[in-house]
Amino acid sequence: MDNKTNEKVNCLIIGSGPAGYTAAIYAARANLKPVLYQGIQPGGQLTITTEVENYPGYADGVQGPEMMVHFEKQAHRMGADIRYGIATKVDFSSHPFKIEIDEEKWIEANAVIISTGASAKWLGLESEQRLNGFGVSACAVCDGFFFRNKEVAIVGAGDTAAEEALYLSKLCTTVHMFIRRDAMRASKVMQDRVLATKNIKIYWNTDTEEVLGDKHVDGVRVKNNKTNQVQTIPVSGFFVAIGHQPNSEIFKDWLEMDEAGYIKTIPGTSKTNLEGVFASGDVQDKVYRQAVTAAGSGCMAALDAERWLGAKGFH
Specify the CATH number for the domain of residue 156: 3.50.50.60
Q: Are residues 200 and 254 in the same domain?
A: no
Q: Are residues 212 and 236 in the same domain?
A: yes
- Residue 197 pLDDT greater than 60, yes or no: yes
Q: Are residues 260 and 233 in the same domain?
A: no
pLDDT band at 243 (very low <50, low <70, confident <90, very high): confident
Q: Known catalytic residues?
A: 139, 142-143
Q: Are residues 95 and 147 in the same domain?
A: no
Q: Are residues 100 and 248 in the same domain?
A: yes
pLDDT average, residue stretch 195-206: 97
Query: Which among 240, 268, 286 is the end of a domain?
Result: 240
Query: Which among 200, 224, 240 is the end of a domain?
Result: 240
pLDDT band at 41 (very low <50, low <70, confident <90, very high): confident
Lowest mean pLDDT among 141-150, 198-207, 217-226: 141-150
Q: Are residues 29 and 172 in the same domain?
A: no
Range of the domain at 10: 5-119+244-312
Q: Are residues 25 and 173 in the same domain?
A: no
Query: Which among 240, 266, 291 is the end of a domain?
Result: 240
Residues contacting residue 110 through CB under 8 Å, at least 6 positions apart: 9, 10, 11, 95, 96, 97, 276, 309, 312, 314
Structural domain total, the chain: 2
pLDDT average, residue stretch 154-162: 93
Global pTM value: 0.84
Average pLDDT value over all residues in the chain = 94
Q: Are residues 256 and 206 in the same domain?
A: no
Q: Are residues 126 and 233 in the same domain?
A: yes
pLDDT average, residue stretch 177-194: 94
Whole-number pLDDT of residue 249:
96
